[in-house]
A and B are shown apart, each in its own frame.
Chain A
Amino acid sequence: MALFPIISNFQFDFVLQLVPVDSDNTMDEVCSAAAHHSVGRRVAPQPDKVVRVRRQGATEFFPRQARLHETGILPMETLEFIFCEG
């Protein structure tokens, strides 16, 4: 369990942001932390969708229940947060 900073590139937002999460967080929890700084602030909520996360430029999303320390994501890596069908 350790503080783990990531870079959020949130779909439809205009800026990359620093988001502190925990290495034990699931990817759903990481998505929720990133959404806190974008959705409802500059990005309109999409309640019928879920937010999934992937590496910048990747097409595949990380499994929703995978824990951050299991994914190989590095601290301060830029991740894309994308609205997906639930």
Chain B
Amino acid sequence: MALLDRSEWYDIARSTNWTPTYVSEEELFPDTMCGAKGVPMDKWEVYDEPYKTSYSEYVRIQREKDSGAYSVKAALERNQLFKDADPGWLSILKSHYGAIALGEYAAMSAEARMVRFGRAPGMRNMATFGMLDENRHAQLQLFFPHEHCPKDRQFDWAHKAYHSKEWGAIAARHAFDDMFMGRSATDIAVMLTFAFETGFTNMQFLGLAADAAETGDFTFSSLISSIQTDESRHAQIGGPALQVLIANGRKEEAQKLVDVAIARAWRIFGVLTGPAMDYYTPLEHRKQSFKEFMQEWIVGQFERSLIDLGLDLPWYWDQMISEFDYQHHAYHLGVWFWRPTVWWNPSAGMTPDCRDWLEEKYPGWNDSFGKCWDVIIDNLLAGRPELTLPETLPIVCNMSQLPICAVPGNGWNVKDYPLVYKGRTYHFNSEIDRWVFQQDPIRYRDHMTLVDRFLAGHIQPPDLSGALQYMNLAPGEMGQDAHNYAWVDAYRNPLKKAV
């Protein structure tokens, strides 16, 4: 039987919409779930997704992608990468899997909301494929680390992290629940697919795949490339939704969603990707600094996408760009110092050569962050490792759920940005985080940070050991220095560097 060419039937099939007669339109598409912002049905019908595919085409391509990723994994299963890879690279894998794998499930639920409640037929169609994409990503990123679990139980956190009350998992859940799970279909199109995926993950996955290939981890490289090609397709759901909103006088609402989502995404990237690029990746494999990456992809590329759509840059754009110089250095120092509280082994990235690189990429680094590391190195040289471990909790931001931190040393600019709301004092990392809270206080007000829980008596005994128990970090899972302090040798014998 001859098949019609896709172009001959696609527009009719994808535009399937109907006028309800047994229920009202409001009952069929309740605004809480749709978030149409008062834009009527017929205005949404002009929604035109840039990437068009049919189900049979989708299945054929996905099958090829899956067999590609799985066959690379199978072919390389017996290679020595796990044994030979730099521990810093293994830490990137562990932090990535734990933070992302079940986040894909959240994204799948979000796509499902657009499948059911998207106001535009084209959006529902695209989101159906997006939902299947995210399911594939979750399964891939749970299965690939699974083979390493018998050798290293930290890999088990690919599945475990989101089921725990570990602080990084709380931070990821808080952000993803906000952007993906607790939003309407329209808000998800803007926040998840446009701001988070077009703005950040699509670019980040490109870079991560290249870094993996450079490091010789072709399994991870092919996995991430496979995922990225899906991302670049379904990330296009948001753009046309924004066009509909702007064309119908809803720019202000759309802008706010974009601004909130970028603010939230930036914090996640700062803590996850920043240390990975500037500290965990072995020096010889670094292509560009995190700051250079952010400037090229986020400022250079995403800024253009915002302007082209008719949106403005977020009000905090300059502040965010200035944070490229320091925020991830502060997060890295925090993660390394509080290393028993994470499910991977943070790489200090602190050899003299590493410090030269940091100073070159971030002039003034030695005079600021370097001052803290000088004290840490002195303690390790003097045989006082206990002073390089915490005895209390950092204060975490009531928005990002990450430590409130900034520049130490001679550039000291650390500051709390408090807010009293209905008798409770909230603490924020910056004006940006505080502004996000103020946009929708009811959404955020009842959440308790890890420190709030500690003070409320949820963590027993009320000390670091109780906190580790609360976070469900067992021995063998708690992080330690990735290189077991071997990097300190370069300071013990300064001549060693020259040899």
A binding-site residues for B, Cβ under 8 Å:
5, 7, 9, 11-20, 36-37, 40-44, 56, 74, 76, 78
In this complex, the interface size class of chain B, counting residues with CB under 8 Å from chain A, is 35 or more
Assuming the A-B contacts A13-B408, A42-B376, are A18 and B454 also in contact, with contact meaning beta carbons closer than 8 angstroms in the complex? yes
Which residue of B is nearest A36, CB measured?
Answer: B391
Contact with A along B439-452 (1 / 0, CB 8 A): 00000000000010
Which residue of B is nearest A43, CB measured?
Answer: B375
Contacts of B379 in A (CB 8 A): 40-41
Please give the distance in Å from A41's CB to the nearest CB on chain B.
Answer: 5
Residue of A5, A13, A19, A36 near B414 (CB, 8 A) is: A13
B binding-site residues for A, Cβ under 8 Å:
330, 333-334, 337, 369, 371-372, 374-376, 379, 387-388, 390-395, 403-410, 412, 414-416, 418, 425, 427, 451, 454-455
Which residue of B is nearest A33, CB measured?
Answer: B392
Residue of A12, A13, A19, A74 near B392 (CB, 8 A) is: A19
Considering the chains assembled together, what is the distance between the CA atoms of A14 and B336 in angstroms? 13
Decide if B407 touches A7 in the complex (CB within 8 Å).
no
Decide if A76 touches B412 in the complex (CB within 8 Å).
no
Q: A7-B416, A42-B375, A56-B415 are in contact. List 11 more A-B contacts (CB 8 A).
A: A13-B414, A14-B333, A14-B334, A15-B394, A17-B395, A36-B391, A37-B391, A40-B387, A44-B371, A56-B416, A76-B455
Decide if B387 touches A78 in the complex (CB within 8 Å).
no
Q: List 29 A-B contacts (CB under 8 A).
A: A5-B455, A9-B415, A12-B371, A12-B410, A12-B412, A13-B408, A14-B330, A14-B407, A15-B330, A15-B333, A15-B334, A16-B395, A16-B403, A18-B392, A18-B393, A18-B394, A19-B392, A36-B391, A40-B375, A40-B387, A41-B387, A42-B376, A42-B408, A43-B371, A43-B372, A43-B375, A44-B371, A44-B374, A76-B425
Decide if A9 touches B371 in the complex (CB within 8 Å).
no
Contacts of B330 in A (CB 8 A): 14-15
Decide if A42 touches B372 in the complex (CB within 8 Å).
yes
Please give the distance in Å from A29's CB to the nearest CB on chain B.
Answer: 16
Considering the chains assembled together, what is the distance between the CA atoms of A56 and B454 in angstroms? 23
| B394, B395, B410, B427: most-surrounded residue (chain A CB, <10 A) | B395
Which residue of B is nearest A74, CB measured?
Answer: B425
